[in-house]
């Protein structure tokens, strides 16, 4: 087995396939066989199409070498008490698991077959968080029965409970060494999801192994194609190391390949898709002396730091990801923290003798490409599980829908639901980052 695996990686074999884990093992196209747009004559010659908006949640988290406890609470990360989204994408990295880095780095893990035990544990945690009806005070639903005997009135009781989600299920889950991506949708969207596929690219040891690289997933929702790229790029805080990260991005874009589909009309590369979101530990640092970086972090001067942020500079110069966008960052650097604390590594905690000092940086990022995507939230959460803080973003995505289906889909998409949202989002108003018409819904 090992010679084959090594040969495939060395010769950079493209892995566009249906080799992934899902709630429906026999994941065929279309998923539930209810609506086959490619072969149904009622739809083939209908050129009059409309658009709806769906809400997409994206999160990236480098959890280091720490396996999750079964009782890990990620409700704050997923905002399960606040919002219901149509699609959830979570990328984890572990040393190697990170929602991008999920297993220890050693030869057998870098070269050998994948061990799905940890990724399955994460999926179990995600499933519970997305589908439970939880008590905001931290108790489960059964504890709420005791409230009937206390003095709280009915209105107060209902305010303390989160509404149950719409039966969110996993449609794609894929791990490559320490990079792991998990995609979830509401069950009532399943009949309209087609052509799911994954593609893995290793950019690590010898330029081809999977300790660095990407796991990309794609599918089509109605008439619109989505691609999500979960990446872990080259590390290093020395001057010039950003070039290695740029090289990784180039490799990922050039080597990622998906099947063309039964009619040979599906997107083949990442940039061929309508909506593309790249998430991960991209490892771009701040090009300032360490002392200056720490001083500006202490002051909370994000603007001065971002002027020297490598990813921002590379995007503006066009050296990498030309035409991609990132929302306004208004949160503290997400890396590197002392264990189980809010103190940046190297301030007071020096670690092991001879261990490298690492200045704070925004290593964990979410960027996007394509018309019809609008970011309405970009922030971090404060879990202390690892030396990185999770980052999350919320998007609205325009989806092209055939007209005969639109009448029955109002409950699925945001054109009506957004009017009911009471919690305002932090919206990026910088036109440079949003290349799409402003939507008509109210925030």
Tell me the pLDDT tens digit for each residue of 383-414.
Answer: 999 999 999 999 999 999 987 655 555 555 55
- Contact criterion met (CB below 8 Å) for 203 and 212: yes
pLDDT at 54: 96
User: Residue 405 and residue 56: Cα distance in Å, rounded?
Assistant: 21
- Contact criterion met (CB below 8 Å) for 279 and 365: yes
Question: pLDDT tens across 354-368, in order?
Answer: 456 689 999 999 999
Q: What would the mean pLDDT of 51-65 be, rounded to a whole number? A: 94
User: Is residue 361 assigned to a domain?
Assistant: yes
User: Is residue 71 assigned to a domain?
Assistant: yes
pLDDT at 395: 98
pLDDT at 350: 52
User: Is residue 6 assigned to a domain?
Assistant: no
CB contact set of 335 (below 8 Å; sequence gap of 6+): 62, 358, 360, 361, 362, 363, 364, 387, 388, 389
Mean pLDDT (the chain) is 76
- Contact criterion met (CB below 8 Å) for 216 and 270: yes
Instruction: Indicate the pLDDT class of residue 38, thresholds 50, 70 and 90.
Output: very low
Domain holding 237, by residue range, is 48-98+115-129+166-348+356-415
- Residue found under tokens 């090289």: 247
pLDDT above 70: residue 171: yes
User: Is residue 74 assigned to a domain?
Assistant: yes
Buried b (16+ CB within 10 A) or exposed e, 39-59: eeeebeeeeeeebbbbbbbbb
User: Is residue 195 assigned to a domain?
Assistant: yes
Please report, for residues 275, 289, 403, 416, the alpha-carbon distance to residue 228 in angstroms, rounded to integers and kept in the order given.
Answer: 8, 34, 27, 26
pLDDT at 118: 82
pLDDT at 83: 72
Question: pLDDT tens across 59-99, in order?
Answer: 999 998 787 888 898 998 998 777 789 999 999 987 644 44
350 C-beta neighbours (distance < 10 Å), count: 11
More confident of the two residues 326 and 422: 326
pLDDT at 422: 38
Total number of domains constituting the chain: 1
User: Is residue 40 assigned to a domain?
Assistant: no
More confident of the two residues 188 and 70: 188
């Amino acid at each position: 087995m090992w010679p084959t695996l090594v040969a495939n990686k060395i010769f950079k074999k493209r892995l566009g396939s249906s080799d992934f884990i899902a709630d429906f093992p026999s994941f065929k196209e279309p998923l539930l066989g209810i609506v086959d747009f490619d072969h149904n004559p009622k739809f083939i010659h209908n050129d009059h199409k409309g658009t709806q908006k769906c809400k997409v949640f994206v999160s990236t988290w480098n959890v280091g070498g720490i396996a999750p406890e079964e009782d890990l609470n990620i409700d704050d990360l997923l905002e399960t008490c606040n919002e219901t989204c149509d699609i959830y994408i979570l990328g984890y990295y572990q040393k190697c698991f990170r929602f991008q880095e999920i297993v220890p780095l050693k030869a057998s893990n870098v070269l050998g077959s994948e061990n799905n035990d940890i990724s399955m544990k994460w999926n179990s945690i995600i499933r519970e968080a997305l589908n439970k009806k939880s008590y905001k005070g931290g108790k489960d639903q059964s504890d709420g029965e005791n409230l009937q005997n206390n003095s709280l009135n009915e209105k107060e009781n209902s305010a303390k409970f989160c509404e149950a989600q719409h039966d969110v299920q996993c449609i794609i889950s894929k791990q490559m060494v320490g990079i792991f991506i998990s995609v979830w949708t509401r069950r009532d969207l399943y009949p309209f999801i087609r052509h799911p596929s994954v593609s893995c690219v290793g950019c690590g040891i010898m330029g081809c192994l999977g300790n660095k690289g990407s796991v990309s997933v794609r599918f089509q929702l109605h008439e619109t194609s989505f691609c999500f790229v979960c990446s872990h790029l080259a590390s290093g805080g020395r001057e010039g190391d950003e070039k290695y990260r740029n090289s990784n991005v180039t490799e990922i874009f050039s080597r990622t390949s998906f099947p063309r589909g039964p009619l040979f009309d599906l997107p083949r590369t990442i940039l061929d898709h309508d909506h593309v979101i790249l998430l991960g530990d991209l490892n771009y640092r701040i090009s300032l002396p360490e002392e200056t970086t720490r001083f500006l972090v202490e002051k909370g001067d994000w603007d001065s730091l971002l002027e020297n942020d490598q990813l921002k500079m590379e995007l503006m110069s066009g050296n990498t990801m030309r035409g991609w966008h990132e929302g306004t960052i208004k949160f503290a650097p997400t890396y590197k923290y002392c264990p189980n604390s809010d103190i940046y590594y190297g301030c007071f905690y020096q670690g092991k003798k001879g261990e490298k000092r690492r200045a704070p940086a925004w290593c964990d990022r979410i960027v996007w490409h394509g018309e019809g995507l609008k970011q309405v939230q970009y922030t971090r959460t404060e879990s202390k599980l690892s030396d990185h803080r999770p980052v999350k973003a919320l998007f609205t995505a325009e989806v092209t829908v055939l007209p005969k289906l639109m009448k029955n889909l109002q409950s699925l998409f945001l054109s009506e639901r957004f009017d009911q949202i009471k919690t305002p989002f932090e919206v990026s108003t910088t036109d440079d980052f949003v290349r799409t018409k402003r939507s008509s819904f109210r925030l």
